[in-house]
């Protein structure tokens, strides 16, 4: 009994310390915004990501040292789980603590964790209506207090020490935008109010006020990005109330927000009320709780498998040289594992590929890099694996798979939201859709460059189109930092035969990049290339890339707005 109670308490102590650190890093986001410390904000975000694994590893090491029996007797864990449930009653982060328990238990139990007696296969503690030491959100009542006064109280409630550039002007802008969004025929209901989450959402160079407008049974987003001038003064950049704009702001292709949450489930519930199409998986991930997102995703996958009949199969399209990709057609995700051997001319190693994916996880994705869920030892029902896929797995990745009973176990896998590859999209798109996608393709490359990311392989098959029409990069085996690249012009041919040769007549070092040679990667069609060059011709000019590199080297951070320019208040466009 002493071992059971000791293990249960040690796991909860490990989680509580993890979440304490998680909140410290999240709070640091606000301080970094106040001080325009963009590098510090990036560092806090990266530290918060790796902090989970560090705490799990420390907890496992402590258990193996203090309670070695827990690593030898699997049956103890059924009792440990029951003891943990009792300790989680009233815990403000119970769902995340259950996930932390699972992470520790899976390290201790090896394959025995498939048994739901030992782990939280389903949540045991309800997190509905949990309240912390103070309310999750504040309510404002324009009908009685006046709209302008409420807006003033909202934007000044977060205690930012920065001077406002022109607060009176910004309140007028917000008031006009809110009234304009109501449209004709709008009528205030008795419950008309604006509810605002208690903490700022910080990311990149912005701090966001996140709330909702409640009127009758309608709930609309109310999001105000706060930006900073070079002199440290701040201003409201726009008001976002459209579902599409908010969906892009909380997109899976952007970095995680730094926001301090005492009760994360309450924040997720609030956000889902203004983004009903977003799953709880997406929302937990956007709040920086990726491990909780992974737990919820795996439960969704298992639920879907119980209510579907189609098989996992090879993903359609051009096969990758490094990754083996498969999908379940009825499920909106793709599953990617690293091949044992790579097709020529790829020369990267397996460890380098994993490093690239970790780079993306820690980096600001600026809306152009797809987020991934990374799993180890994932079990799939063998009967749901298409024979062609199983044959491909056995041929291309035999060291990553194992058949255990009626399950196919994959030792390491990445899961991404499914998108339509850009090359396939363009092949079927109409004239207007094609033009927009070509322009978006160039915008994606620009945004990535501004975030210090060089895609490496810029073939259109490595970019996808989201349901909102945005172009996102998702093939990471060749990405690197812009600052690691040497952008050069192609030297003039020495003689006529040089120009006709397939072999360069000039020396090429490992990190050399020749933007003038990008043309074939972009568009073979003269019509498509003409559209591309109209907006993005400088992407084939090494001078442009070197200017971007110089700016990054100086410590500048590009302004990449997660909303359309037309949404910005007029003085900022």
Q: Based on the domain organization, do 378 and 456 belong to the same domain?
A: no
Identify whether 451 is part of a domain.
Answer: yes
Q: What are phi and psi of 408, to 5 degrees?
A: -100, 120
pLDDT tens digit sequence for 13-52: 999 999 999 999 999 999 999 999 998 998 999 999 999 9
Q: Based on the domain organization, do 107 and 82 belong to the same domain?
A: yes
Instruction: Please give the average per-residue pLDDT across 169-193, as a whole number.
Output: 93
- The answer to whether 197 touches 222, Cβ cutoff 8 Å, is no
Identify whether 555 is part of a domain.
Answer: no
| Residue 548 three-state SS | helix
More confident residue, 230 or 510: 230
Q: Which two tokens stand for residue 30?
A: 């606000």
Q: Which two tokens stand for residue 146?
A: 């006046």
Q: Based on the domain organization, do 292 and 155 belong to the same domain?
A: yes
Q: What is the pLDDT of residue 523?
A: 86
Identify whether 164 is part of a domain.
Answer: yes
Identify whether 513 is part of a domain.
Answer: yes
Q: Based on the domain organization, do 376 and 445 belong to the same domain?
A: no
Integer Cα distance of 432 and 287 in angstroms: 35
Integer Cα distance of 19 and 304 in angstroms: 31
pLDDT tens digit sequence for 381-439: 999 999 999 999 999 999 999 998 899 999 999 999 999 999 999 999 999 999 999 99
Q: Based on the domain organization, do 352 and 493 belong to the same domain?
A: no
- The answer to whether 357 touches 372, Cβ cutoff 8 Å, is yes
Identify whether 494 is part of a domain.
Answer: yes
Report the domain count for the chain: 4
Q: What is the pLDDT of residue 457?
A: 82
Active site residues: 371
136 vs 292, 293, 380, 471, CA distance in Å? Answer: 20, 21, 39, 35
Integer Cα distance of 1 and 83 in angstroms: 10
Secondary structure in 3-state letters for 416-465:
EECCEEHHHHHHHCCHHHHHHHHHHHHHHHHHHHHCCEECCCCCHHHEEE
Integer Cα distance of 426 and 438 in angstroms: 8
Q: Based on the domain organization, do 110 and 196 belong to the same domain?
A: no
Point out the domain boundary residue: 390, 418, 446: 418
Pairing relation of β-strands 420-421 and 407-417? Answer: unpaired
Identify whether 131 is part of a domain.
Answer: no
Q: Containing H/E element for 165?
A: none
Q: Based on the domain organization, do 403 and 440 belong to the same domain?
A: no
Residues composing the chain: 573
pLDDT tens digit sequence for 256-288: 999 999 999 999 999 999 999 999 999 999 999
Integer Cα distance of 459 and 270 in angstroms: 40
Point out the domain boundary residue: 418, 444, 479: 418
Beta strands in 241-360 (DSSP E): 313-314, 323-327, 333-338
Integer Cα distance of 552 and 529 in angstroms: 28
Q: Based on the domain organization, do 256 and 349 belong to the same domain?
A: no
Pairing relation of β-strands 193-197 and 206-215? Answer: antiparallel
Say which CATH number the domain at 479 has.
Answer: 1.10.510
Q: What is the pLDDT of residue 365?
A: 81
Q: Based on the domain organization, do 477 and 495 belong to the same domain?
A: yes
Provide the pLDDT confidence category of residue 468 given band limits of 50, 70 and 90. Answer: confident
Point out the domain boundary residue: 354, 387, 418: 418
Q: Based on the domain organization, do 52 and 180 belong to the same domain?
A: no
Instruction: Check pLDDT > 90 for residue 121.
Output: no
Identify whether 260 is part of a domain.
Answer: yes
More confident residue, 345 or 368: 368
How many Cα atoms sit within 13 Å of 427 on the Cβ side?
8
Q: Give percent above pLDDT 70 in the chain.
A: 96
Identify whether 130 is part of a domain.
Answer: no
Exposure string of 309-332, with b = 16+ CB inside 10 Å and e = fewer, is eebbbbbeeeebebbbbbbbeebe
Q: Based on the domain organization, do 396 and 436 belong to the same domain?
A: no
**By residue range, what is the domain housing residue 467?**
421-540
Q: Based on the domain organization, do 410 and 426 belong to the same domain?
A: no
Among 85, 532, 18, smallest CA distance to 289 is for 18
């Amino acid at each position: 009994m002493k071992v059971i109670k000791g293990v249960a308490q040690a796991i909860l102590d490990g989680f509580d310390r993890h979440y304490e650190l998680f909140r410290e890093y999240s709070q640091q986001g606000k301080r970094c915004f106040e001080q325009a410390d963009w590098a510090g904000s990036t560092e806090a975000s990266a530290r918060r990501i790796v902090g989970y694994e560090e705490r799990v590893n420390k907890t496992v090491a402590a258990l193996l040292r203090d309670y070695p029996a827990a690593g030898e007797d699997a049956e103890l864990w059924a009792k440990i789980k029951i003891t943990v449930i009792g300790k989680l009653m009233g815990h403000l982060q119970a769902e995340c603590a259950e996930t932390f328990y699972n992470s520790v238990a899976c390290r201790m139990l090896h394959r025995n964790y498939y048994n739901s007696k030992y782990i939280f296969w389903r949540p045991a503690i309800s997190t509905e209506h949990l309240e912390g030491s103070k309310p999750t959100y504040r309510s404002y009542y324009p009908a009685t207090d006046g709209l302008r006064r409420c807006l003033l109280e909202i934007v000044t409630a977060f205690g930012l020490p920065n001077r406002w550039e022109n607060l009176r002007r910004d309140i007028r802008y917000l008031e006009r935008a809110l009234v304009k969004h109501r449209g004709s025929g709008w009528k205030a209901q008795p419950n008309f109010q604006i509810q605002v989450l208690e903490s700022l959402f910080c990311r990149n160079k912005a701090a966001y006020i996140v709330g909702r407008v409640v009127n009758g049974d309608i709930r609309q987003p109310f999001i105000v990005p706060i930006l900073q001038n070079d002199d440290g003064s701040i201003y409201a950049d726009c008001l976002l109330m459209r579902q599409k704009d908010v969906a892009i702001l909380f997109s899976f292709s952007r970095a995680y927000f730094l926001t301090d949450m005492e009760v994360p489930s309450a924040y997720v519930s609030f956000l889902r009320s203004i983004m009903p199409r977003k799953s709880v998986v997406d929302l937990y991930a956007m709040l920086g709780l990726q491990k909780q997102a992974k737990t919820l995703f795996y439960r969704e996958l298992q639920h879907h498998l119980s209510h579907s009949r189609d098989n996992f199969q090879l993903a359609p399209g051009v096969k990758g040289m490094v990754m083996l990709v498969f999908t379940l057609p009825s499920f909106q995700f793709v599953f990617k594992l690293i091949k044992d051997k790579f097709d020529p001319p790829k020369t990267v190693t397996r460890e380098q590929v994993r490093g690239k994916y970790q780079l993306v996880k820690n980096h600001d994705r600026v809306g152009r890099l797809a987020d991934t869920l990374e799993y180890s030892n994932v079990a799939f029902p063998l009967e749901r694996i298409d024979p062609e896929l199983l044959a491909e797995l056995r041929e291309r990745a035999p060291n990553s798979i194992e058949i255990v009973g009626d399950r196919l176990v994959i030792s390491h896998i990445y899961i991404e939201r499914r998108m339509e590859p850009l090359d396939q999209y363009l092949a079927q798109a109409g004239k207007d859709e094609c033009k927009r996608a070509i322009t978006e393709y160039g915008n994606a490359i620009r945004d990535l460059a501004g975030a210090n990311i060089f895609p490496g392989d810029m073939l259109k098959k490595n970019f996808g189109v989201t349901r909102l029409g945005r172009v996102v990069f998702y093939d990471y085996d060749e990405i690197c930092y812009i600052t690691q690249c040497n952008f050069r012009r192609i030297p003039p041919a020495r003689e006529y035969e040089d120009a006709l040769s397939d072999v360069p007549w000039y020396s090429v070092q490992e990190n050399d990049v020749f933007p003038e040679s990008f043309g074939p990667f972009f568009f073979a069609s003269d019509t498509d290339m003409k559209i591309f060059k109209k907006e993005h011709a400088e992407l084939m000019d090494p001078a442009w890339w070197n200017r971007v590199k110089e700016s990054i080297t100086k410590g500048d951070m590009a302004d990449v707005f997660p909303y359309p320019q037309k949404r910005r208040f007029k003085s900022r466009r």
